[in-house]
Amino acid sequence: MVHALREVRRVLAPGGILIDARPDSRVLAHAERGAQRFGNLSTNRTELANDRWADRAVAQVVLEKLFKRKRHGRFWHRIPFDSLAALRQYLSEHLRFVHRAQWVVNAATRRRYANEDFVIRRAVRYEILEVRPMRPGKLRSEA
């Protein structure tokens, strides 16, 4: 990942920016019906590890003074489902989430509303990094 970010630095013009946006696995996603939370959704271990590697890669190129951090933030993304069964099916095939929700309502409540509309609400993080000018005399291959 660090090598890829160095390549990004190479192809960016002076003053150029890198935008890194990805699901925010530091925050639980939720299964919701209207405003009511039905369950929490965790990210699986493999993806958590991948996210940590990505964080370290970004930190590394900032440390190397190839980029400087400009701005970061988070927003919420909603994915709609027309039933609880559809949501469960989605989860069972998902590559990032664990395949079962941690329900915060009881089974009777889940059954009662099973055919209503649900959403998965997940956090998406972003960071904007700006290219730092190359230091004089620094070899191209080092950047």
Partner 1 sequence: MNHNSVGDFGGVGKQVPVVSSSLRPDPLRELREWGGERLVRGKRVLDLGCGDGRFALGVASLASRVDGIDPDPEAIAAARKNARESGVRNVRFRVGAAQQLPYSEAAFDVVILSWTL
Give the residues lining the site for partner 1 (CB under 8 A).
1, 3-4, 7-8, 10-23, 34, 54, 57-58, 71, 73, 75-82, 86, 90, 93-95, 117, 119-120, 124, 126, 128, 140
First to last CA, the chain: 14
Tell me the closest approach of the beta carbon of residue 72 to partner 1, in angstroms: 10
Nearer to partner 1, 16 or 102 (CB): 16
User: Which residue in the block uniquely carries the two structure tokens 């660090």?
Assistant: 2
At CA 53, angle to CA 50 and CA 56, rounded to 5? 155
Tell me the closest approach of the beta carbon of residue 105 to partner 1, in angstroms: 18
d(CA 127, CA 96): 20
Tell me the closest approach of the beta carbon of residue 85 to partner 1, in angstroms: 11
Residue 123 and residue 25 in contact, taking contact as beta carbons nearer than 8 Å: no
Nearer to partner 1, 110 or 121 (CB): 121
